[in-house]
Amino acid sequence: MRLLLTGAAGMLGHDVTAAAERAGHDVTPLSRRELDIRDADAVHAAIAAARPDAVINCAAWTDVDGAEADEADATALNGAAAGHVAAAAARAGAFTLQISTDYVFDGTATTPYLESAPTGPRSAYGRSKLAGELAVAEHAPSAHAIVRTAWLFGPHGRNFVATMRKLARERDELTVVDDQVGCPTFTGHLATALLTIAERRLGGIRHVAGGGACSWHDLAAATFQATGAEIELHRGRTADLDRPAPRPAYSVLRSERPDTPTLPPWQEGLHAYLELGVTA
């Protein structure tokens, strides 16, 4: 399979590129410096030149709090630009795979969100990503997948697990919120699933996230236990953090589509990540 990847320098992009190369695919990985997907003409030229069978769009505005102050720019990248990618891919006869997020939901559910659940983002970031979903569906109606995932961590970017390990070396005690529940997802596992979706052209909305669910406090505790960190861990509340963007209190994702790839439990993802020996 010929594969073009945008946002290749990011945390997920790194792992998708590596997984595709291991699988023997012909990969064109493009960083934001090499291809700004906000430039529709540049996107069309790059995809036409590469002649890919599939395009995976990992390019995104990921600063959740920053989006609150700059929603227009966040939406330009996460929304309209995703449409540029889908339109160019469709013109080239390629399948589009768009990465989306649990933030498209309002976070008030008490059971896992399925693909058919109504969206209702409460943050600028969530609205920008939902705009991207709609743009991709509009511009590549018959050849696209939208993969919603959550709580990513991997060896090639800033992430919660790395931050916890760094803080454990600097502090004797730490408070982490326990009123947000979601699905920690190891990018190494997600990357393989994305390739399966692209290879098989599994269309439509797909929920792909680490198996099981936990709070940020639970993930911190598991990280400290696995690494032998000696730190006193306290339970905190999201309200006490005073962040600009609202966070979903509950954002567990599950798929109701039987052909959607299933990821291992988040605990396996955590151990796979830690075994890489990455330090913050």
Q: Kindly report, residue by residue over 58-112, the tens digit of the pLDDT.
A: 999 999 999 999 999 999 999 999 999 999 999 999 999 999 999 999 999 999 9
Alpha-carbon gap, residue 57 to 77, rounded angstroms: 11
Q: Are strands 181-182 and 214-215 parallel, antiparallel or unpaired?
A: antiparallel
Catalytic hit among 103, 113, 125, 273: 125
Rounded mean pLDDT of the chain? 97
- pLDDT surpasses 90 at 278: no
Give the gyration radius of the chain's Cα atoms.
Answer: 18
Length of the chain: 280
Residue type, 136: V
Q: Which residue in the block uniquely carries the two structure tokens 């399948």?
A: 95
CATH class of 2-158+184-211+253-263: alpha beta
* Token pair listed for 119: 């969206």
At residue 172, φ and ψ (nearest 5 deg) are -95, -25
For the question of residue 125 being annotated catalytic, the response is yes
* Token pair listed for 266: 């988040």
> What are the residues whose beta carbons fall under 8 Å from the beta carbon of 277, sequence distance 6 or more?
none
| Domains of the chain by residue range | 2-158+184-211+253-263
The region, left, alpha or beta by phi > 0 then psi within -120 to 50, assigned to residue 7 is left
pLDDT bracket for residue 280 (50, 70, 90): low
Alpha-carbon gap, residue 106 to 162, rounded angstroms: 27
251 neighbors 182 (Cβ within 8 angstroms): yes
Q: What is the pLDDT of residues 163-201, one digit of tens each?
A: 999 999 999 999 999 999 999 999 999 999 999 999 999
Mean pLDDT on 127-143: 98
Q: What is the pLDDT of residues 206-251, one digit of tens each?
A: 999 999 999 999 999 999 999 999 999 999 999 999 999 999 999 9
